[in-house]
Chains A and B, each alone.
Chain A
């Protein structure tokens, strides 16, 4: 279930305030130790897992939906599913990879059921970052750069789902093909073929 209300006033220091042994012992734990602590009932340990991985998970989701609100909903869904299935995390891959796997499944499922309203509308508008001129860049150049990014983002949104997932994991999360294959449940050959076709289709869409 997605909690849509944003509890802005919730205390941000909660993850570290009630832990046995003091805050440092929580912060210094490895991901595997935090998983173990979460399973033992320490909610603060899971809070720290969220804090460590929320940016990557959110960015992964954003790449799929190109929309801040939807990406936040999806990121929340990823962490809730991760919490529910924490016992299934065996530590064979890193916690980050495991979260990516859940994230890709959640995003692909969302794309399978959701009409493309939000993802097709948002790229029509430039995000704030895209309108701000970088150092040494004129306002016109910043606008053109923003327009280029908007076109690429819209083109990526039109790629078939598997190609999009492969492109996102490879280009933006710099994953090796073997890891992408593990996440998508494909062979390395299929991942490379998907990546090639993603780039080829992107080229056609941008022409």
Chain B
């Protein structure tokens, strides 16, 4: 019979492991030793209490929370939707921008007489040096926008926010995508000011 899996060890510690597997834990020296070690660690961890703060601490905590809450107001339903709408618009805009950029890469060379619109697009494309210089600004804008988003708003929309998740996602963007994201965020921030 196979050794217990991590989840089964947890069930064993909880006392919810089905009898046949629990019997294996009794028969197998390795699993028994592991289970006993986990019990010891669990007892040691459970033995650590949070030191009781002084008696006046709780009233002081309530008072400072009251003071901090007095400076804020509950978000209205509409206000709570603003960052989500912005985020949705951003995703659509970035997705669209990237799609357009990639489509453009696959397109044949422009005609010898480009239209004024196409000309403007070509002029607007930054070179590599501009991209590098722009990246610092992108991070500034990103940090600024992200810091204004509320965890509760994201959670209410069904999103799970993990620390550094945005960093990781942004690190995967290509320089072009990063530049486009920065431009869109700048516009978003300007329109919110």
Task: State yes or no: do A and B come from one complex.
Answer: yes
A→B interface (CB under 8 Å):
1-3, 5-8, 10, 12, 14-15, 38-39, 43, 46-47, 50-51, 54-55, 58-59, 62-63, 68, 72, 75-76, 79-88, 101-102, 105-106, 108-109, 111-112, 127-130, 145, 148-149, 152-153, 156, 161, 167, 171-172, 177, 185, 189, 192-193, 195-197, 199-200, 202-203, 206
Shortest Cβ distance from residue B83 to the other chain A in the assembled complex, whole angstroms: 12
Say yes or no: B152 contacts A88, CB within 8 Å.
yes
A59 partner residues in chain B, CB cutoff 8 A? 50
CB-contact partner of B47 in A76, A152, A196, A200, under 8 A: A152
Say yes or no: A171 contacts B45, CB within 8 Å.
yes
CB-contact partner of B44 in A10, A130, A148, A192, under 8 A: A148
A12-B59, A85-B152, A192-B10 known; A149+B47 contact, CB < 8 A:
yes
B153 partner residues in chain A, CB cutoff 8 A? 85, 88
A106 partner residues in chain B, CB cutoff 8 A? 151
B73 partner residues in chain A, CB cutoff 8 A? 84
Say yes or no: B46 contacts A171, CB within 8 Å.
yes
Taking A5-B64, A72-B61, A85-B75 as known contacts, 10 extra A-B pairs with beta carbons closer than 8 A to each other, sorted by chain A number, are A3-B68, A55-B58, A68-B57, A84-B74, A86-B74, A88-B153, A88-B156, A105-B151, A106-B151, A196-B7
Is chain A's interface secondary structure helix, strand, loop, or mixed overall?
helix
A–B pairs, 23, beta carbons within 8 Å: A3-B64, A3-B67, A6-B64, A8-B56, A46-B69, A50-B66, A54-B58, A54-B61, A75-B61, A76-B61, A80-B68, A84-B152, A102-B151, A102-B152, A111-B163, A112-B164, A129-B49, A129-B52, A152-B45, A156-B48, A172-B46, A193-B6, A203-B41
Say yes or no: A12 contacts B62, CB within 8 Å.
yes
Shortest Cβ distance from residue A201 to the other chain B in the assembled complex, whole angstroms: 9
A189 partner residues in chain B, CB cutoff 8 A? 7
Query: A82 CA to B64 CA in the complex, in Å?
Result: 15
Q: Which residue of A lies closest to B75 (CB)?
A: A84
Q: Which residue of A lies closest to B16 (CB)?
A: A177
Shortest Cβ distance from residue A5 to the other chain B in the assembled complex, whole angstroms: 7
Query: A196 CA to B10 CA in the complex, in Å?
Result: 6
Q: Which residue of B lies closest to A167 (CB)?
A: B45
B144 partner residues in chain A, CB cutoff 8 A? none
A39 partner residues in chain B, CB cutoff 8 A? 74
Query: A62 CA to B53 CA in the complex, in Å?
Result: 11
Indicate the member of A55, A83, A130 with the most B CB atoms within 10 Å.
A83
A102 partner residues in chain B, CB cutoff 8 A? 151-152
B188: interface (CB < 8 Å): no
B121 partner residues in chain A, CB cutoff 8 A? none
A101 partner residues in chain B, CB cutoff 8 A? 155
